[in-house]
Amino acid sequence: MTTTTMNNLAMTEEVAETTPQNTAAPTETCGVPFVENPRMTARNVFVNYENGSKSAITDVSLDIGEKEVLAMIGPSGCGKSTFLRCLNRMNDTIPGCQVSGDIILDGEDIYHRDTEIVELRSQVGMVFQRPNPFPKSVYDNVAYGPRIHGLVDGKDELDALVEQSLTRAGLWNEVKDRLDQPATGLSGGQQQRLCIARTIAVAPEVILMDEPCSALDPIATGIIEELIADLKKNFSIVIVTHSMQQAARVSDRTAYFHLGNLVEVNSTQKVFNDPEHKLTSDYINGRFG
Ligand SMILES: Nc1ncnc2c1ncn2[C@@H]1O[C@H](COP(=O)(O)OP(=O)(O)OP(=O)(O)O)[C@@H](O)[C@H]1O
Ligand SMILES: [Mg+2]
């Protein structure tokens, strides 16, 4: 293609839209933030802390697809955890934190005043950076949710659900002989898988994971990543990670945040190989953050 032709093409909207090095301020999200048949949708979400004096998330709209892994990446402080916490109303527990916009799960506004928070958090479960098992036995950690939600009828059913959840979390063989021992006696990687077992025991629709491997060694990380690949057959997973390699390995779509803005969302393949926005490209290439 000659330079003249390229210049002419550059004048057309079609080419302007696919220009790889978009340098505009991130007022609008690049890429494809929406999917067909989303499991969860967020529209025009704003989050402030300190009763409005500190803005953390600005006008974020995004879908979470069914049976997909969505990675959220971006420099420290850009709002990844804040946005993740909006999805199961964990921000409600932070005094002075204000959330606005629409977040819909199965057609229902999760911020509606009639929403049952305990129920919501079983539908949208969360796994944290540091494994946080309850100070109870391995068995009781997993049995806790099904018991309080009345999901099982009798001890045999509960036993079966505990075994099934631990098996799906890839932990059963390691703990089947120590179910009555304190969960705090497990290794960090085992504790994180126990927390995943605890989350999936209540049959959530979406699992939120905030840097679930950052406290783990590479072997435990590999086990969790394999587990994520398996879990996505049944659940939608949103994972915040600082590891670009991890995002590339485990996710189907990737969302890049910068200073509270959602700069770009697309298939992971596209975001990592051909980002539309310069901010994304700089971050992916290690020039920022
Ligand atoms: N409880 C809080 N009170 C006040 N400000 C907060 C609170 N939590 C987060 N923030 C601020 O909101 C912004 C976004 O923080 P957030 O923790 O969501 O970022 P992050 O992308 O998860 O960062 P990291 O990668 O370091 O975990 C930051 O400026 C942070 O200081
Ligand atoms: Mg965070």
- pLDDT digit string, tens, across residues 56-75: 999 999 999 999 999 999 99
Indicate the domain borders of the chain. 29-137+205-284
Instruction: Supply the pLDDT for residue 135.
Output: 97
pLDDT score recorded for residue 27: 66
pLDDT at 247: 97
Please give the mean pLDDT across all residues of the chain.
91
DSSP sequence for 20-82? TTB-S-TTS-EE----SSEEEEEEEEEEEEGGGTEEEEEEEEEEEETT-EEEEE-STTSSHHH
pLDDT in tens, 70-92: 999 999 999 999 999 999 999 99
The pLDDT of residue 23 is 58
Query: 185 and 143 in contact (C-beta within 8 Å)?
Result: no
Residues 21 and 281: beta-carbon distance below 8 Å: yes
- Taking the CA of residue 82 as reference, the ligand 1 atom at the shortest distance is 18
- Tokens 């999936």 label which residue? 200
b/e sequence 248-278, b meaning 16+ C-beta within 10 Å? bbbbbbbbbbbbbbbbbbbebebbbeebbbb
| Residue 241 CB–ligand 1 contact under 6 Å | no
Q: Name the residue of 49, 51, 99 to mutate for ligand 1: max ligand atoms within 8 A of Cβ.
A: 49
For residue 88, give the 3-state DSSP assignment: coil
Whether the CB of 76 sits within 6 Å of ligand 1:
yes
pLDDT score recorded for residue 25: 53
- Inter-residue contact 126 to 86 (CB < 8 Å): no
Query: How large is the average pLDDT for residues 26-45?
Result: 92
Q: Is the pLDDT of residue 53 over 50?
A: yes
First to last CA, the chain: 36
The answer on pLDDT for 147 being more than 80 is: yes
Q: Which residue has the tokens 């099934």?
A: 164
Ligand that lies nearest to the alpha carbon of residue 55, given by its number in the listed order: 1
Which residue minimizes the CA distance to atom 2 of ligand 1? 49
Nearest CA to 276 out of 20, 28, 32, 16 is that of: 20
Class of domain 29-137+205-284: alpha beta
Instruction: Report the nearest atom of ligand 1 relative to the CA of 84.
Output: 18
pTM (whole model) above 0.85: yes
Question: How far apart are alpha carbons 98 and 209 in whole angstroms?
Answer: 22
Taking residues 266-289, report their average pLDDT.
92
- pLDDT at residue 9 above 70? no
Q: Which amino acid is at 207?
A: I
pLDDT at 5: 33
**What is the tens place of the pLDDT at every residue in 203-239?**
999 999 999 999 888 998 999 999 999 999 999 999 9
Relative orientation angle of helices 138-148 and 155-168, to the nearest 10 degrees:
120
Average pLDDT over residues 6-12: 35
**Do residues 280 and 73 touch, judged by C-beta distance below 8 A?**
no
Instruction: Give the residue, by CA position, lying nearest to ligand 1 atom 29.
Output: 77
| 252 pLDDT above the threshold of 50 | yes
> In the prediction, which pLDDT does 215 show?
87
Which of 13-27, 83-97, 259-273 is least confident? 13-27
Q: What is the pLDDT of residues 152-198, one digit of tens each?
A: 999 999 999 999 999 999 999 999 999 999 999 999 999 999 999 99
| pLDDT (average), residues 22-36 | 80
CA of 85 to the centre of ligand 2 (A): 10
pLDDT confidence tier of residue 101, bands split at 50, 70 and 90: very high
How many Cβ atoms sit within 10 Å of the Cβ of residue 234? 14
Task: Give percent of the chain above pLDDT 90.
Answer: 86
Q: Which residue has the tokens 């804040």?
A: 82
What distance in Å separates the CA atoms of residue 224 and residue 125, rounded to the nearest whole number? 16
Kindly report the protein residue whose alpha carbon is nearest to atom 24 of ligand 1: 76
**How far does residue 260's CA lie from ligand 1's centre (Å)?**
9
